[in-house]
Chain A
Amino acid sequence: MTPPARLNASASSPCRLRTRFVLRFLKTLVKIKRSTPPPPSPSLSLTSSPEKIGRHSQRIKLAAYSSMARAVGQRRAWSRALMLKLKLSDKRKNRYRWLAARKMKQQKTLRRGCGRILATKRNRSEKGSPSRSCSGVDELRRLVPGGEAMDLGVLLEETAHFVRCLETQVRVMSIIADCFP
Chain B
Amino acid sequence: MSSRRSRSRQSGSSRITEDQIADLVSKLQQLIPEIRNRRSDKQVSASKVLQETCNYIRSLHREVDDLSQRLSELLASSDTDSDQAAIIRSLLM
Q: How far is B56's CA from A143's CA once the two chains are assembled, in angstroms?
A: 11
- The answer to whether residues A56 and B76 also contact, given A133-B51, A176-B87 and a CB cut-off of 8 A, is yes
Q: How far is B16's CA from A4's CA once the two chains are assembled, in angstroms?
A: 38
Q: Which residues of A contact B16 (CB under 8 A)?
A: 151-153
Q: Which of A12-70 contact B (CB under 8 A)?
A: 19, 22, 26, 29-30, 32-33, 36, 38, 45, 48, 52-54, 56-61, 64-65
Q: Kindly state whether residue A104 has any CB partner on chain B within 8 Å.
A: no
Q: Kindly state whether residue B83 has any CB partner on chain A within 8 Å.
A: yes
Q: Which of B22-57 contact A (CB under 8 A)?
A: 24-25, 27-28, 31-32, 45-47, 50-51, 53-54, 56-57
Q: Which residues of B contact A38 (CB under 8 A)?
A: 79
Closest to A139 in B: B54
Q: Kindly state whether residue B92 has any CB partner on chain A within 8 Å.
A: yes
Taking Cβ atoms with an 8 Å cutoff, the residues of B that contact A are: 14, 16, 18, 20-21, 24-25, 27-28, 31-32, 45-47, 50-51, 53-54, 56-58, 60-61, 63-65, 67-79, 83-84, 86-88, 90-93
Interface pairs (22), CB distance under 8 Å: A6-B93, A19-B92, A22-B88, A33-B75, A38-B79, A48-B77, A53-B76, A57-B68, A58-B68, A133-B47, A156-B25, A159-B57, A160-B27, A162-B57, A170-B64, A170-B67, A172-B91, A173-B67, A176-B87, A176-B91, A180-B74, A180-B87
- Assuming A60-B71, A60-B72, A140-B54, what are 8 further A-B pairs, CB within 8 angstroms? A45-B77, A130-B47, A143-B57, A152-B16, A159-B53, A169-B64, A179-B83, A179-B87
